[in-house]
Amino acid sequence: MSSTLLIHQAVLCAYQDLKEVSDKPRSDAQMLLANILGKTHTWIMTHPEAELNFREKEDYFHSLSRYKSGEPLPYVLGWWEFFGRRFNINESVLIPRPETEHIVEHAIRFLLANPSKRSALDIGTGSGCIAVTLLDEFEDLQITATDISYSALKLARDNAVKFGVESRLRLSQMDLTIAITGLFDLIFANLPYIPTASLENLKVARNEPLIALNGGEDGLSLIKQLLKDIPRLLVPEGCALLELEAGTGERVLEVARADIAKADFRLIQDLAGHDRVLAIEYDES
């Protein structure tokens, strides 16, 4: 390799290697390069003759090596986009996914329709992407967020600071809602929902924290625990939103109906038509 490396050369030399791990190797190489240079993806594409210095070349090829070895792109970048915002991400949390944006969309609808309801509980907050997004959308919203992982809570705090909403986010380290008291207008959770036996065959389980994926023997262990606790925590006419694994909607709905009396239940589908979120509108405490 010559001592001089231009942007278009850097992208080209990564293209063949990344074809093994990505279905969009050119775009990913450009994204990694933009991250190293502190530029936008568009800038990389419009400045093919810009030259990398020695440190930039080292950092770029180190990032490529991490990505080629199987490390997920968001962890290599240190961030990922969720609901139009760029969140800090590391190996202590699950990578935000588009399916989870359905929780945000329906939470926004509930909050817009109920302007007096401004207290929320986020269970298993992870990176804090749901809570921070909602706090950024509603300046009078207050959220309590829990997670069993201290590292996840630290990252959630960093993201709250990044968006200037940390004063309205209360973080607590605990298992589900074990130490939570009081009532909330809105409860949302993206809990682990993959059956333990299925983890062995999933690529995601080799790269992301098992604690954020393992839903127990049937995948519903934590969701069942939370459903039993919702009547204790949700105000009358409040709303709870739970993300589900595709194909489990009817099973979760059956459990919810057994545990929660006098509530309206609705399964919300994702763009692929799969049941993705269970919405519970509670009628009576």
- Please identify which residue in the block is written with the tokens 């799969």: 274
Q: In this predicted model, what pLDDT tens digit does every residue of 21-60 receive, in sequence order?
A: 899 999 999 999 999 999 999 999 999 999 999 999 999 9
CATH number of 5-70: 1.10.8.10
Q: In this predicted model, what pLDDT tens digit does every residue of 105-118 receive, in sequence order?
A: 999 999 999 999 99
Beta bridge partners of 123: 146, 189
Q: In this structure, which topology does domain 82-87+91-282 adopt according to CATH?
A: Rossmann fold (3.40.50)
Please give the biggest Cα pair distance in the chain: 72
- Please check whether residue 268 is in contact with residue 104, taking contact to mean a CB–CB distance below 8 angstroms: no
HSE-up of residue 18 (Cα within 13 Å, Cβ side): 26
- Please check whether residue 237 is in contact with residue 281, taking contact to mean a CB–CB distance below 8 angstroms: yes
Mean pLDDT score, 69-86:
96
Q: Domain-by-domain residue ranges, the chain?
A: 5-70, 82-87+91-282
Residue type at position 112:
L
Q: With bands split at pLDDT 50, 70 and 90, how would you rate the model's confidence at 169? A: very high
